[in-house]
């Protein structure tokens, strides 16, 4: 195997020590009440500081934007202070870290945050659930169906744009090297992008040009607060779960990428399917993306180091994200370098542990 993945990389002036990206993964360990990041989370990210770039778990930009219990936020002073624990430790390890900014839109329930969800249109996502912690055995999360959302007014949209911008400013104050706007996986921005979830008849609906408007407004507002070199965007054109099967999405996504290219953002992060028999992203899509977006491209989703090298050599991506591999292997780059055995996830019940260190910071390192 060639070793391009171990080469350093310049991300619009931010020097990464390798091309491994630790992908964002929700783990639900924030301190309650208040969804405050804590030292347990700092230990978790610090252990994985050998990644060239860490993208944090999704962090809601407001209480309204919260869809799952015990996920961290980035909209209060206490949350900002809590996140400083993580950024300090990661930087001490020589790592770089972006915060993922999140609003779930209709993927929520009043049982999570006490609020009716909001969305582009008042239609619920079919066959979609979120989780709460309600005293289930072994501290497990319990799943509840999402609720019918309220259709957002124009003032609601303006408020969300402001929340993303404020979240970006807060992230930089907390010590993050940049932010990633979460426009993927069926959450609020993705809901606006998809014709099957967005039935609006105003300037945010009907056409692809209109459906990308919220994404562009949010990205522009974030850039205004922190700079384009510190702003990334995550998109998931090929993922259909959370009731997001839209026949028009490919054209909409490519149009969005062309416009994001004009804004000069740091990167586009493709969230790709990560199950074993997931379909491969077609080469023509990757080639079209490279043609239309000249910044850094990150690909995440069931990748191996060998697949990463192939994508690097063909100049289709620049960085590759790994999720579960980093979850169970805090020293994943070292294990790849030494061709060492990998830890496996030992207990799926600990993925969303609600506050426990078990299955979170207790995976062994090599020779320790």
The answer as to CATH 3.30.1950.10 being correct for domain 4-350 is no
DSSP label at residue 36:
B
Going by their DSSP bridges, the two strands 296-300 and 267-271 should be labelled as parallel
Measured between alpha carbons, how far is 87 from 97 in angstroms, rounded to an integer?
A: 7
Measured between alpha carbons, how far is 42 from 54 in angstroms, rounded to an integer?
A: 12
**Annotated catalytic residue 9:** no
Measured between alpha carbons, how far is 237 from 250 in angstroms, rounded to an integer?
A: 6
Q: How remote is the C-alpha of 192 from its chain's centroid?
A: 17
Measured between alpha carbons, how far is 360 from 368 in angstroms, rounded to an integer?
A: 17
**Domain spans, the chain:** 4-350
Residue by residue, pLDDT tens for the chain (368 residues) are 458 999 999 999 999 999 999 999 999 999 999 999 999 999 999 999 999 999 999 999 999 999 999 999 999 999 999 999 999 999 999 999 999 999 999 999 999 999 999 999 999 999 999 999 987 766 788 999 999 999 999 999 999 999 999 999 999 999 999 999 999 999 999 999 999 999 999 999 999 999 999 999 999 999 999 999 999 999 999 999 999 999 999 999 999 999 999 999 999 999 997 766 556 788 999 999 999 999 999 999 989 999 999 999 999 999 999 999 999 999 999 999 999 999 999 888 899 876 789 999 999 999 86
Give the pLDDT score at 278.
58
Question: Active-site residue among 45, 68, 75, 187?
Answer: 187
Q: What proportions of the chain, in percent to the nearest 5, are helix, strand and coil? A: 35, 15, 50
Give the pLDDT score at 137.
65
């Amino acid at each position: 195997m060639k070793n391009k993945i171990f080469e350093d990389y310049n991300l619009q002036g931010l020097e990464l020590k390798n091309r491994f990206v630790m992908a964002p993964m929700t783990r639900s360990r924030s301190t309650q009440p208040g969804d405050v990041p804590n030292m347990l989370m700092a230990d978790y990210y610090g252990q994985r500081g050998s990644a060239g770039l860490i993208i944090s778990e999704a962090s809601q930009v407001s209480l309204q934007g919260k869809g799952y219990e015990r996920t961290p936020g980035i909209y209060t002073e206490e949350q900002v202070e809590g996140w400083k624990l993580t950024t300090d430790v990661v930087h001490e390890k020589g790592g770089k870290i972006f915060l993922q900014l999140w609003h779930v839109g209709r993927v929520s329930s009043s049982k999570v945050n006490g609020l009716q969800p909001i969305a582009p249109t008042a239609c619920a996502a079919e066959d979609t659930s979120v989780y709460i912690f309600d005293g289930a055995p072994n501290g497990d999360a319990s799943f509840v169906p999402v609720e019918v959302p309220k259709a957002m007014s124009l003032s609601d949209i303006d408020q969300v744009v402001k929340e993303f911008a404020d979240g970006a400013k807060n992230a930089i104050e907390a010590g993050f090297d940049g932010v990633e706007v979460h426009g993927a996986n069926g959450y609020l921005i993705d809901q606006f992008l998809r014709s099957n979830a967005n039935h609006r008849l105003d300037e945010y609906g009907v056409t692809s040009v209109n459906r990308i408007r919220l994404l562009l407004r949010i990205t522009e507002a974030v850039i205004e607060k922190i700079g384009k070199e510190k702003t990334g965007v995550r998109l998931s054109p090929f993922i259909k779960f959370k009731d997001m099967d839209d026949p028009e999405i490919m054209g909409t996504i490519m149009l969005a990428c062309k416009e994001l290219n004009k804004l000069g953002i740091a990167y586009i992060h493709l969230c790709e399917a990560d199950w074993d028999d997931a379909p491969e992203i077609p080469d023509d899509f990757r080639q079209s993306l490279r043609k239309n977006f000249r910044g850094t491209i990150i690909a995440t989703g069931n990748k191996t180091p060998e697949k990463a090298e192939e994508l690097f050599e063909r100049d289709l991506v620049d960085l590759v994200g790994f999720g579960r591999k980093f979850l169970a292997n805090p020293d994943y780059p070292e294990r790849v370098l030494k061709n060492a055995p990998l830890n496996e996830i030992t207990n799926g019940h600990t993925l969303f542990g609600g506050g426990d260190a078990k299955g979170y910071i207790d995976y062994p390192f090599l020779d320790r």
